[in-house]
Amino acid sequence: MKRARFVIVLVTFAKVTLAQSAAEKEVLQFERDACKAFLDADPAALERVLTPDFTLTLSNGEVSTRVNEINELRSGKVHYDIFENYDMTARIYGDDMAVVLGKTRVKGTSEGKPFDRVVQFTDTLVRRDGRWQLAAGHVSRLENN
């Protein structure tokens, strides 16, 4: 009887682990797709990935909104040659919330001035209408970059 319970627990654990792994992969792919919206300077794609009440807290304490981010992209003042997330880990909470931690390298020009930096980020994602969206983010510039 003990052996049967152990097998049931082991099978249940394996199913949960696989499900979490699939959800984590989905969330990490969402993050890569969100980067592509910035890299491609695609405001419509950015509108799809950001919630209407999205906020981004920057290293200097300023808070940017969805409207700010989309307008900056539309203006063409910022151009990205590189916008890449890496070293990411995802934490899944239920079926509709996730937190992603990682680093982002951005390189390009802002109002004609070049930049190349790496930031540490924490993103909070929610699933709405069957798709992930970014609800909030926080970035901290890494000192040696």
CATH topology of domain 2-141: Nuclear Transport Factor 2; Chain: A, (3.10.450)
User: Residue 123 class from Cβ within 10 Å (0-12 exposed, 13-18 middle, 19+ buried)?
Assistant: buried
One digit per residue, pLDDT tens: the chain, 145 residues? 555 554 454 444 444 444 457 999 999 999 999 999 999 999 999 999 999 999 999 999 999 999 999 999 999 999 999 999 999 999 999 999 999 999 999 999 999 999 999 999 999 999 999 999 999 999 999 976 5
Instruction: Residue 30: count other Cβ atoms within 10 Å of its Cβ.
Output: 21
Q: Which of left, alpha, beta for 140 (phi over 0: left; psi -120 to 50: alpha)? A: beta
Yes or no: say if 109 and 29 are a contact pair by the CB < 8 Å rule: no
* Domain coordinates in residue numbering, the chain: 2-141
State residue 104's pLDDT score: 97
Q: Is the pTM of this model over 0.85?
A: no
State residue 50's pLDDT score: 97
Q: Where are the beta strands (DSSP E) in 17-112?
A: 50-57, 63-65, 78-93, 97-110
State residue 14's pLDDT score: 45
Yes or no: say if 107 and 34 are a contact pair by the CB < 8 Å rule: no
